[in-house]
Amino acid sequence: MDQLLVRAVAHKTVPFSQHKGGGFPCSRSSYNLQIVPTLTDMVDPDAPCPTRHALDASVNPASAPSRRRRLRPGKFGNRNRRPITNGNAPAARRRRTIRAIARSQPPSSRRGHASLLPRPFIPTEPASELQTYLPPVAGHGSPPRLQMELRTCAAPSSASLSSGRGAVPSSRLLSRQIWSRSAYCTVSSTSSSPVARRSRFSTLMATAYNTGTPDLADFNWDALGFQLIPTDFMYLMSCSSEGVFTNGKLVPYGPIELNPAAAVLNYGQGLLEGLRAHRKEDGSILLFRPHENALRMKTGADRLCMPAPSVEQFLEAVKLTVLANKHWVPPFGKGSLYIRPQLIGSGAILGVAPAPQYTFIVFVCPVGHYFKDGLSPISLLTEEEYHRAAPGGTGDIKTIGNYASVVSAQRRAKEKGHSDVLYLDPIHNKFVEEVSSCNIFMVKDNVISTPLLTGTILPGITRRSVIEISQNLGFQVEERPITIDELLGADEVFCTGTAVVVSPVGSITYRGRRVEYGKNQEAGAVSQQLYAAFTAIQKGVTEDRMGWTLQLA
């Protein structure tokens, strides 16, 4: 038993009673137990380990607290007396086991049965760093501890128990992080060898490889595109019928539970936002104009009769989510962390009416370029049959229904080899409005023009930023109605948006006529200049004189 630890696991394994070395005070139906090798050179013998204490008690009953058992007469008198187990025998033994484990822990760590038999937790970073970038969660006092369980992709290699080392995980590790409110632990590390990491109540040790960049996940950042990559945490906050958002918290990223009668599922009562976080050359993280996203969500919420989180709550949720997924922020120049706040009517309702309950969600995902060709000029197909929005509708807010309606036209355009769809106004069918997910600009005789906001066009935050940057660079900027004929005669065309940033347009097809911009399908000089100036502020390369960025760490 000196070379073995026993860990309670949820999946089915061989019961411990079938192994050599004796039994454990629970039946097969109570717990399934798994034998794992002990890394004795990594274990602090003085550190409290509740499961080990319970094993000591099972091997040496004298070490366990004494307990007088009540007896009842047997069938044939006192010869066959048996203990009273208060009902189900396995359940009673399980309760006694849990109580014995609880008594073996320090009083300050007795937080209920859920923490008595923990999974193996491995902290991602030393406590000092966690305390630096994890601010307290509102209503929960001190920040929780971020811990990680490492699981290998391939089968672990065998190792001798006598050597004191268990199976060494492969260099490609998968991480699953969870929050624990136990006390912070310390991590010892060396720069030239694998790092031994363990949590205070861990029953399984593992070897984590020190890549030299503890803030980055093990990922091929050079192959990063614009697709969903699940990260570790997301943020949830609910709203009662009084319209007040409270009890925001970080939870592991994953599915959420919704009633089939939820307003967002039946009537599309939902909003979304999009913003980015970039890593600077010094490793710190910048948010770009998150305050504007919070204000735009409040505007959209008023239009859809939804309560919205305050600007402060919005910013706090974004900060916590980014910092909890800090190692998923790509390296400098390799991409960014896309942040997706959502506000949905999660309450159940049958008739058409505002939902009785709302949920605010924030999740993040590392992304690269939105279009598959990167910064190469894109091709647009002008849509005449379908329209994105109508006057008096919801085209000027970021509601989820605005994007579902463009999927059909977008798919048809991509089947014909185009990158996206250009929409015209629904009344005259000749004035340019916007692309599926971004605003559009044109350049003619060194004058930059963009369609006027008339209630059917989304007031993009990138659009407004590009207008201000253009004016600072000395360009004349006009916001006015633009016909499709004017756009086809422009010197240069480009799109702007959170996802696309500043994307040059190489060609536009209208009624079978294809018009190309630039020489050899290269980006125009103005769009290149604006892209460089805009991304330099986003990434912290130049001084932010506009006050747009917010540094986190």
Of 99-103, 114-118, 387-391, minimum mean pLDDT range: 114-118
Task: Please classify residue 168 by burial: count the beta carbons closer than 10 Å to its beta carbon, then call 0-12 exposed, 13-18 middle and 19+ buried.
Answer: middle
With a cut of 50, say whether residue 197 has pLDDT above it. no
Token readout for 384 is: 């005449």
pLDDT digits (tens, 9 = 90+) for 13-25: 344 344 444 443 3
Q: Confidence band (pLDDT; 50, 70, 90) for 356?
A: very high
Q: Confidence band (pLDDT; 50, 70, 90) for 228?
A: very high
Distance between CA atoms of residues 161 and 147, nearest Å = 27
| 345 alpha carbon, distance to own chain's centre | 21
Under 8 Å between Cβ of 194 and 214: no
What is the percentage of the chain residues whose pLDDT exceeds 90? 56
Q: How much is the average pLDDT of 538-542?
A: 94
Active-site residue, 398 included: yes
pLDDT digits (tens, 9 = 90+) for 338-355: 999 999 999 999 999 999
Under 8 Å between Cβ of 341 and 277: no
Under 8 Å between Cβ of 166 and 205: yes
- 221-367 folds as D-amino Acid Aminotransferase; Chain A, domain 1 (3.30.470)
Quote the mean pLDDT of the chain.
74
pLDDT digits (tens, 9 = 90+) for 78-97: 555 555 544 456 667 767 77
Distance between CA atoms of residues 32 and 202, nearest Å = 18
273 compared with 198, residue with greater pLDDT: 273
pLDDT digits (tens, 9 = 90+) for 138-156: 444 434 333 333 333 333 3
Write down the pLDDT at residue 150: 31
With a cut of 50, say whether residue 498 has pLDDT above it. yes
Q: What are the residue ranges spanned by the domains of the chain? A: 221-367, 378-542
Q: Confidence band (pLDDT; 50, 70, 90) for 371?
A: confident
Q: Strand 173-180's sheet: what is its strand order?
A: 122-123, 145-152, 173-180
Mode of pairing for the β-strands spanning 476-479 and 447-450: parallel
Write down the pLDDT at residue 100: 72
Distance between first and last Cα of the chain: 46
| Eight-class DSSP state of 105 | S
Under 8 Å between Cβ of 250 and 234: yes
Q: Could you tell me which residues come within 8 angstroms of residue 553 by beta carbon, excluding any fewer than 6 positions away?
A: 132, 133, 284, 285, 323, 326
Token readout for 257 is: 């539970």
Q: Confidence band (pLDDT; 50, 70, 90) for 110?
A: very low
Kindly report whether the global pTM for this prediction surpasses the value 0.75: no
Of residues 326, 398, 414, 416, which has the active-site annotation?
398
- 3-state secondary structure (DSSP) of residue 60: coil
Task: Please classify residue 351 by burial: count the beta carbons closer than 10 Å to its beta carbon, then call 0-12 exposed, 13-18 middle and 19+ buried.
Answer: exposed
Write down the pLDDT at residue 72: 52
With a cut of 50, say whether residue 55 has pLDDT above it. no
Distance between CA atoms of residues 86 and 120, nearest Å = 33
Write down the pLDDT at residue 34: 40
Q: How much is the average pLDDT of 190-216?
A: 37
- Give the type of residue at 132: T
9 compared with 109, residue with greater pLDDT: 109
- From residue 83, alpha-carbon distances to 24, 71, 73, 429, 544 in Å are 18, 5, 9, 87, 76
Write down the pLDDT at residue 350: 96
| 78 alpha carbon, distance to own chain's centre | 64
Query: Of 112, 101, 79, 105, which is closest to residue 24 (Cα–Cα)?
Result: 101
| Angle, CA 453 vertex, CA 449 and CA 459 arms, to 5° | 95
| Eight-class DSSP state of 115 | G
pLDDT digits (tens, 9 = 90+) for 433-491: 999 989 999 999 999 999 999 999 999 999 999 999 999 999 999 999 999 999 999 99
Under 8 Å between Cβ of 444 and 491: yes
Write down the pLDDT at residue 95: 73
Write down the pLDDT at residue 373: 65
Write down the pLDDT at residue 109: 47
CATH superfamily for domain 378-542: D-amino Acid Aminotransferase, subunit A, domain 2 (3.20.10.10)
Of 222-226, 272-276, 354-358, minimum mean pLDDT range: 222-226
With a cut of 70, say whether residue 275 has pLDDT above it. yes
Task: Please classify residue 244 by burial: count the beta carbons closer than 10 Å to its beta carbon, then call 0-12 exposed, 13-18 middle and 19+ buried.
Answer: exposed
Q: How much is the average pLDDT of 501-508?
A: 95
